[in-house]
């Protein structure tokens, strides 16, 4: 009788422990990584049926996770689709949600609900790395001071971005509102209407180019590439285009590793400006995600 009573007590205790363990597992929120890419078509990944292109690394991410096979684009262009992703608002309801110029003010109202804001209410730490192109500040930015409002003011705890697009000035990285590598004695000046005296342009100085200008990309030259808009100064802060994919990848990996010993789940939006780098960086993101947390 005593043995039966002990056995019953053990079974009851085990069952309670199992329930508590299940509740604890269910309560633990997953980390979320969104890899956002310009110009990626539905059929360009072999996981989704592409035959001309093979993307085994992206396929592995898809096959080990969840595939969505019925989806609709909010927009076929950059700024509107990003606005829709972060806010959940159909972009054409906002007349300003169009491809923004480099001097555009922040498109998302700081009081507007966003995905990172929503996740923060659930205890998430939030971050964005890569292309932003949703406007910054009030449209009259002093790049030598903290640039605000921006990603941090609409829900991201950490941000490491480029302001607009790779073909526009300023050609610098911005971390939590501050231009990375900026030197006080070499301030940045940006103008989308007029060039600065003595500064070469793609149109007037083709001998300095490694890529010929086209479609208005004929203004200031950075790394031998003519840009949209004019920029002076900030030489130490200027990015190197060929290193951009690795730069953003490295920052994303650093962020994931940095959250390894944190109890709060994280939300990371990784935005590449082109799709060409993604197949090579996918296995490294996967490794960081698996080993960093």
Q: Residue 41: its pLDDT value, please? A: 76
Please answer whether residues 105 and 138 qualify as being in contact, where contact means their C-beta atoms are separated by less than 8 angstroms: yes
CA 93 to chain centre: 24
SS3 244: helix
Distance between CA atoms of residues 105 and 245, nearest Å: 26
Q: Residue 52: its pLDDT value, please? A: 86
Mean pLDDT of the chain: 86
Q: Residue 224: its pLDDT value, please? A: 96
- Write down the catalytic residue from 6, 16, 133, 277: 133
The answer to whether the predicted template modeling score (pTM) of the entire model surpasses 0.85 is no
Distance between CA atoms of residues 52 and 50, nearest Å: 6
Per-residue DSSP letters for 21-55?
Answer: HHHHHHHSPPPEEEEEETT--GGGSGGGT-SSS--
Of the pLDDT bands very low, low, confident and very high (cuts 50, 70, 90), residue 102 is confident
- pLDDT tens-place string over residues 221-278: 999 999 999 999 999 999 999 999 999 999 999 999 999 999 999 999 999 876 444 4
Q: Residue 10: its pLDDT value, please? A: 39
Q: Residue 19: its pLDDT value, please? A: 52
**Contacts with 247 (C-beta within 8 Å, 6 or more apart), sequence order:** 173, 239
Q: Would residue 3 show up in a list of annotated catalytic residues for this protein?
A: no
b (16+ CB within 10 A) / e for 266-280: bbbbbbbbebebbbe
Distance between CA atoms of residues 24 and 27, nearest Å: 5
Residue linked to tokens 């209407």: 193
Q: Would residue 133 show up in a list of annotated catalytic residues for this protein?
A: yes
- pLDDT tens-place string over residues 120-134: 999 999 999 999 999
Of the pLDDT bands very low, low, confident and very high (cuts 50, 70, 90), residue 288 is very low
Among residues 87, 88, 75, 85, which one has the least CA distance to residue 36?
A: 85
- Write down the catalytic residue from 78, 125, 178, 271: 78
pLDDT at residue 16 is higher than 70: no
The answer to whether the Cα torsion of 30, 271, 133, 98 is positive or negative is negative
Residue linked to tokens 């003010």: 105
């Amino acid at each position: 009788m005593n043995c039966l009573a002990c056995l019953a007590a053990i079974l009851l205790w085990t069952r309670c422990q199992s329930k508590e363990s299940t509740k604890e597992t269910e309560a633990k929120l997953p980390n979320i990584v969104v890899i956002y890419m310009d110009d990626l078509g539905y059929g360009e990944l072999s996981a989704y049926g592409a035959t001309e292109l093979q993307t085994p690394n992206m396929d592995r991410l898809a096959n080990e996770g969840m595939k969505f096979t019925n989806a609709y684009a909010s927009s076929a262009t950059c700024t509107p689709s990003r606005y829709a992703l972060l806010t959940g608002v159909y972009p054409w309801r906002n007349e300003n949600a169009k491809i923004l110029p480099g001097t555009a003010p922040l498109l998302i109202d700081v009081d507007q609900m966003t995905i990172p804001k929503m996740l923060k209410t659930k205890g998430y730490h939030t971050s964005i790395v890569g292309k932003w192109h949703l406007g910054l500040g009030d449209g009259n930015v002093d790049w030598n001071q903290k640039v605000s409002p921006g990603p941090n003011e609409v829900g991201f705890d950490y941000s490491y971005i480029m302001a607009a697009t790779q073909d526009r000035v300023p050609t610098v990285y911005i971390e939590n509102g501050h231009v990375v590598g900026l030197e006080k004695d070499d301030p940045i000046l940006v103008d989308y209407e007029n060039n600065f005296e003595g500064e070469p342009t793609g149109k007037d100085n083709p001998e300095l180019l490694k890529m010929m200008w086209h479609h208005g990309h004929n203004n200031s030259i950075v790394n031998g590439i003519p840009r949209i808009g004019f920029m002076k100064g900030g030489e130490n802060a200027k990015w190197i285009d060929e290193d951009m994919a690795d730069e953003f990848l490295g920052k994303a990996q650093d962020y994931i590793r940095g959250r390894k010993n944190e109890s709060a789940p994280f939300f990371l939006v990784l935005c590449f400006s082109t799709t060409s780098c993604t197949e090579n960086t996918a296995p490294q993101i996967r490794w960081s995600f698996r080993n960093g947390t």
